[in-house]
Amino acid sequence: MNITNTIWRNCNAHPDRIAILFDGHPVSYRALRVRVELASARLAATGVTCGDVVALSIHNNKMSYLIVLLAVARLGAVAMPLYEYREELVAGNRIHSIVLDKDEGWRSSNLPALRYLEARMLLTSPVEGERFDVPPVAQGLDEQPWLIEHSSGTTGRPKRTPQTHARSTLLASLSPRVNQDDEERVFLFASLSIAYGINTVIWQLYRSATTVLTQSTKLEDFYAVVQRDRPTRVVTTTGNAALLVAHAAKAVPESSVTCASIRSMMVAGSFVSPALREGIEHRICSQLEVLYGSTEIGVLAMSTPETRAARPNSAGRLMTWVQAEAVDENDQPLPHGQPGVLRFKSPLLTTGYLDDEQATARAFRNGWFYPGDTGSVGAAGYLFLSGRIDHVLNVGGEKIDPHLIEELLDEQPEIKGSAVVVVNLDTGIPVLIAAVEALAPFDSEALKRLCHKRLGERYMPHAIVQVDALPRDESGKVMRSALAARLKISSETQRP
């Protein structure tokens, strides 16, 4: 088995069909195959072979990144994206080569003798007279990794998760959407270096469908791409969706007309507040799908307009291939509806983290995966989330679950998103601070009193401050440590 086998069958069966529409330039399945095979031949000529780890630091061209990624997989080598913490990632892996953007000046100070390849050199069309042999596709790799993915890193350094050919093939074959349309034109407005992004493209290629990509991260360019390429579905992160809604409110008054081709929008990465959901439905499209899952186990549940009508406070219904339980502190299953620590089983579950026995032991136990979330499971398969174990805040010895405050704030129509962190005052005293993204002016003192009334004295923030945007990683999750570092609150800001 090789992750690219099904894609190559589609290249042969539908050579003229558009595989990727990149910034308005169509790339057919035939052209995709030719480009990947050329890149694989040039990689092989540099000595890359089955089992070698090839790090990818290609950020300036998503099309180049995708082609090199598939070429590495075709050879049976292992691709590893590099972004933040790249010095640490390079030092912690046995890297054969690093593929860089054009004119990229970075070189690892940890391993300066590594082989550095320029992506352009691998992808340039052959010159007249140039000969190269396309290496045979590496087979029999079912349980061998082809990609090393990284966790979001919101609670510490990213953990590395190897993805095998068999697991990724199964992942691409299972769809969270029941009524999928193979003629869909999916616009991925997210990074390819995160699992959610690359899995979306692989899933489309497995269905011989079309993926729309743009290199730009500018919000105005999103609407220009939609108007030009007419995608039928958008896949993005919660953080990106919030930015798109805010931009439309300010600069694209007719965004619903611009987005008329979009039949559905799928987001993942973090909680979607009622205000953000309303903004998406009003300004982009009415069919919003919210995924809950992780790199380690794939999609676990999906919220749709139908599930929200049936269970408004749920994270959606579990996928048919997922088993879920809430357990107590002794790992004993709890009855349906009773909250506890959540754990999951799925055929998509990975076996653990690379070179991190402690993290593996915490998250993977007896065939179950423990993502660190708390909540409950209903008898009808609805999943309810209540918070994260590692987000519990310590304020002067008191344990505070920030999710309770964030949930209450996010219910308010003027609040688009919120995050609660502990910040030390200039006197050194730790206090709760709520940072919010707002759709309209709000009364911070009234919101503080609401928290006091609904949740009690210890859950009332010392201050509620407005920020232009909460700091988020590429998957859309709030970076709490970065947020806390930004907030400066004076001791003169007193609670009423």
The whole-number pLDDT of residue 86 equals 73
**pLDDT-wise least confident of 170-174, 318-322, 337-341:** 170-174
What count of Cα atoms within 13 Å lies in the side-chain half-sphere of residue 489?
27
Of 59, 95, 92, which is closest to residue 78 (Cα–Cα)? 95
Position 496 pLDDT exceeds 50: no
The whole domain housing 161 covers 5-12+23-173
The whole-number pLDDT of residue 424 equals 83
Do 49 and 162 lie in one domain? The reply is yes
**With bands split at pLDDT 50, 70 and 90, how would you rate the model's confidence at 324?**
very high
The whole-number pLDDT of residue 493 equals 47
Residue whose tokens read 């009808």: 380
> What's the whole-number average pLDDT of the chain?
89
Cα angle value 489/495/496 (rounded, 5°): 150
**With bands split at pLDDT 50, 70 and 90, how would you rate the model's confidence at 163?**
very high
The CA distance from 106 to 80, in Å, is 17
Cα angle value 318/321/325 (rounded, 5°): 55
Of 487, 480, 449, which is closest to residue 465 (Cα–Cα)? 487
The whole-number pLDDT of residue 47 equals 93
What count of Cα atoms within 13 Å lies in the side-chain half-sphere of residue 71?
29
Cα angle value 402/407/409 (rounded, 5°): 95
What's the CATH number where 323 sits? 3.40.50.12780
Residue at 479 is within a domain: yes
Residue at 359 is within a domain: no
Do 257 and 289 lie in one domain? The reply is yes
Residue at 362 is within a domain: no
**With bands split at pLDDT 50, 70 and 90, how would you rate the model's confidence at 159?**
confident
Do 161 and 190 lie in one domain? The reply is no
Residues 6+ apart with CB under 8 A from 390: 155, 372
Do 379 and 253 lie in one domain? The reply is yes
What's the CATH number where 405 sits? 3.30.300.30
Do 320 and 466 lie in one domain? The reply is no
Indicate the length of the chain as a whole number.
Answer: 496
Position 46 pLDDT exceeds 70: yes
* The two structure tokens encoding residue 69: 């990624």
Of 173, 275, 283, 184, which is closest to residue 235 (Cα–Cα)? 184
Q: Which residues pair with 345 in a beta bridge?
A: 323
Position 443 pLDDT exceeds 60: yes
Do 164 and 245 lie in one domain? The reply is no
Q: Which residues pair with 290 in a beta bridge?
A: 267, 303
Do 270 and 336 lie in one domain? The reply is yes
Is 401 in contact with 391 (CB distance < 8 Å)? Answer: yes
Question: DSSP strand E in 87-159: where?
Answer: 95-100, 115-118, 145-150
Residue at 179 is within a domain: no
Q: Hey, is 340 helix, strand or coil? A: strand
The CA distance from 11 to 235, in Å, is 24
Residue at 442 is within a domain: yes
- pLDDT per residue over 47-103, tens digit each? 999 999 999 999 999 999 999 999 999 999 999 998 766 777 777 668 889 999 988
Count structural domains, the chain. 3
The whole-number pLDDT of residue 442 equals 92
Phi, psi of 72 (to 5 degrees): -60, -45
What count of other Cβ atoms lies within 10 Å of the Cβ of residue 244?
24
- pLDDT per residue over 353-398, tens digit each? 988 899 899 999 999 999 989 999 999 999 999 877 877 787 877 7
Domain termination residue (choose one: 388, 417, 451): 388
**With bands split at pLDDT 50, 70 and 90, how would you rate the model's confidence at 37?**
very high
Residues 191-206 have a mean pLDDT of: 92
The CA distance from 420 to 177, in Å, is 33
Domain termination residue (choose one: 140, 173, 206): 173
DSSP 159-222: PEEEEEHHHHHHHHH--S-TT--TT-EEEEES-TTSHHHHHHHHHHHHTT-EEEE-S---HHHH
Residues 324-345 have a mean pLDDT of: 95
- pLDDT per residue over 408-419, tens digit each? 998 898 998 899
Residue at 421 is within a domain: yes
Do 216 and 166 lie in one domain? The reply is no
Computed on alpha carbons and rounded to an integer, the radius of gyration of the chain in Å comes to: 23
Residue at 324 is within a domain: yes
DSSP summary character for residue 46: T
Do 217 and 324 lie in one domain? The reply is yes
Residue at 308 is within a domain: yes
Do 243 and 382 lie in one domain? The reply is yes
Domain termination residue (choose one: 173, 200, 216): 173
Do 381 and 396 lie in one domain? The reply is no
The whole-number pLDDT of residue 495 equals 41
DSSP summary character for residue 143: T
Of 282, 270, 192, which is closest to residue 244 (Cα–Cα)? 282
The CA distance from 209 to 299, in Å, is 20
Do 384 and 400 lie in one domain? The reply is no
